[in-house]
Chains A and B, each alone.
Chain A
Amino acid sequence: MAGKGVTLMEKQDSRFVLCARGLSVSFFDHAVLRDVSLNVPAGGIAVLVGRSGSGKTTFLRSVNRLNEEVSGCRTEGSVELRLPGGKVDVWPGVGPDAVPLAELRRRVGMVFQTPQVFPVTVCRNISVPLSVTMGCPRSELDDRVKDALVRVDLWREVADRLDMSAERLSGGQQQRLCLARALALEPDMLLLDEPTASLDVRSARHVEDLLLALSEQLPVIMVSHGLAQSLRLASFMAVMEEGRLRCEISNPDGMEEGDLERLLDGAEDVRGEEAN
């Protein structure tokens, strides 16, 4: 997986898809992220791992500025994206490379831990964001809904149930629908917050296969609690601990679950190469 996205990088003339500098986030003066500096290389899936409360989700939500939707949030430092559409100044979000918040969130798609389907029909879950946030013409909606569902391998299962409430789908189908919704908006990057945490093993594997295929088309940053899953998917890993970046692992091939477990438990160096 290490070679994926090289073409993209050549176009961008940059090795990194995300650069965070001195990123600190607090909620009502409670610090959740402390001075995190991290460069995420382009290509493959970058996985953030760490114990609960280590700041993984908050870091992920800094990339599309979703933390700002929670009251009492205060962000310091800088976050910059180098996407196929050009450089984007995410935070502080001023200057020539800044983009409007709605556009940023459309270009940086996100899928949550528990499937967050909208309480509308299967079809409208995709068509409403398309028409509202992208102004997609009504005549194109059906085709684009179908394309998105085909991309996540859901079309065959729901083709005759598009007018059904999305809440009636199974957990795995709902999560793939959320993925389809994000993909329909033609994102330049995908953020995934433990996307398989609420799924059974089979559905989780299905989603994992989809993510591996997608990572060949666009950058993916993912939070995962599962060590085995992290090792299966990651081409780059960042280990977080108590709001700080503990270490980066640029090539996790060959690592085993035990190594990662020891790293999470506080071992200084498991392979003699990753310390940040």
Chain B
Amino acid sequence: MKRSLPFLGFRFLALLSSMLVPCVVLTLMGYLLWRGLPVMGKELLFGRTPPLDAVFGRAPVWDGLWPACVGTFWLVVLTMALALFPGVGCGVYLAEFATPRQKRVLGSAVDMLAGMPSIVMGLFGFMLILLMRRTVLPDANTCLLLAAACLALLVLPVLAASAREAMEAVPASLRLAAAASGFSRSQALFYLLLPAVARGILGGAVLAVGRAAEDTAVILFTGVVANAGLPSGLFGKFEALSFDIYYISSQYQDQAELLRGFGAAALLLMVSCLLLATARGLERSFRRRWRGKA
């Protein structure tokens, strides 16, 4: 078959584009690891504090990233605890039960939320606290819970959209076969459809975790500080890796401090990879148990 020049050109450009993404990812990760790995070590995490004392909170860590790691961990866990059920539930409702009118209205609301800049979400949290201080809670202050709640709003559309897409991709024949076996719609949803789309929902959850771990604009207004130490509770201030990276990169005074910033970035990258691997592992073990060996 004779191939025309435009077709070959398009094919070449498509190939180039497909290679661009892995190249960018490898360059970014390679550069981060190249600069960050040499400083990676006990001192980067715990400074001059004995590691065990730091881990159990017996001594404060002033010049290490451990408090920021713990802060990021709790921030992500709280965010997902707040956002996972409403996000997935919204997506499932939109795909399975919503009337066309509800789909239009709710779908637009989800799209609008998805398009909202994170700095606006942070400002919203800050204004909320100001309002509460003037009205019902005079002692309210920015804190870990507020930051997680605002981040939950930020990642809600990601979860809703991924759950909706995954549910809508389920073939109608599976629903029909379930109904023919006597399953009610809720039973089919719980026992067959959700397990079938677990991978799609998990994909959204992984994106949401990544977003929650890396976002700085939201937490900037809602409770993160540079030297808070380990988070004292839901209503305490906290440190976060993403904020540390931002803070160091804008305030560093010498080369050693800059390298510490690269170390923090490499650490955040590793934490994200660890979360991703854990999620994939969980999904794989669930799939083998429920759906059988592929």
Chain A residues with Cβ below 8 Å from B187 are 132-133
Measured in the bound complex, the distance between the Cα atoms of B195 and A168 in whole Å is 17
The residue that B195 contacts in the complex, of A119, A134, A178, A181, with Cβ under 8 A, is A119
Considering only residues 236-294 of chain B, those with a C-beta below 8 Å from chain A are 290-294
Scan B214-231; emit 1 where CB is below 8 A from any A CB, else 0. 000000000000000000
Asked if A121 lies at the interface with its beta carbon under 8 angstroms from chain B, I say: yes
Chain B residues with Cβ below 8 Å from A122 are 292
The residue that A119 contacts in the complex, of B174, B179, B183, with Cβ under 8 A, is B174
Chain B residues with Cβ below 8 Å from A129 are 181-183
The residue that A105 contacts in the complex, of B180, B191, B291, with Cβ under 8 A, is B180
Considering only residues 168-192 of chain A, those with a C-beta below 8 Å from chain B are 168, 178, 181-182, 185
Scan B101-115; emit 1 where CB is below 8 A from any A CB, else 0. 000000000000000
Asked if B17 lies at the interface with its beta carbon under 8 angstroms from chain A, I say: no
Measured in the bound complex, the distance between the Cα atoms of B194 and A128 in whole Å is 14
Asked if A82 lies at the interface with its beta carbon under 8 angstroms from chain B, I say: no
Measured in the bound complex, the distance between the Cα atoms of B196 and A105 in whole Å is 22
Contact A66 B179 (CB under 8 A): yes
Measured in the bound complex, the distance between the Cα atoms of B187 and A109 in whole Å is 18
Contact A120 B182 (CB under 8 A): no
Chain A residues with Cβ below 8 Å from B181 are 105-106, 109, 129, 133, 181-182, 185
The residue that A116 contacts in the complex, of B174, B191, B292, with Cβ under 8 A, is B174
Chain A residues with Cβ below 8 Å from B179 are 66, 69, 105
Chain A residues with Cβ below 8 Å from B173 are 112, 114, 116
Measured in the bound complex, the distance between the Cα atoms of B192 and A271 in whole Å is 49
A89 nearest CB across to chain B (Å): 18
Q: Footprint of B on A, CB under 8 Å?
A: 64, 66, 69, 102-103, 105-106, 109-110, 112, 114, 116, 118-122, 124, 128-129, 132-134, 163-166, 168, 178, 181-182, 185
Closest 4 CB pairs of A and B: A165-B292, A121-B292, A116-B177, A106-B182
What are 19 contact pairs spanning A and B, CB under 8 A? A64-B180, A66-B179, A69-B176, A69-B179, A102-B182, A109-B181, A112-B180, A114-B173, A116-B177, A119-B195, A124-B292, A128-B191, A132-B183, A163-B292, A163-B293, A164-B292, A166-B292, A168-B292, A185-B181
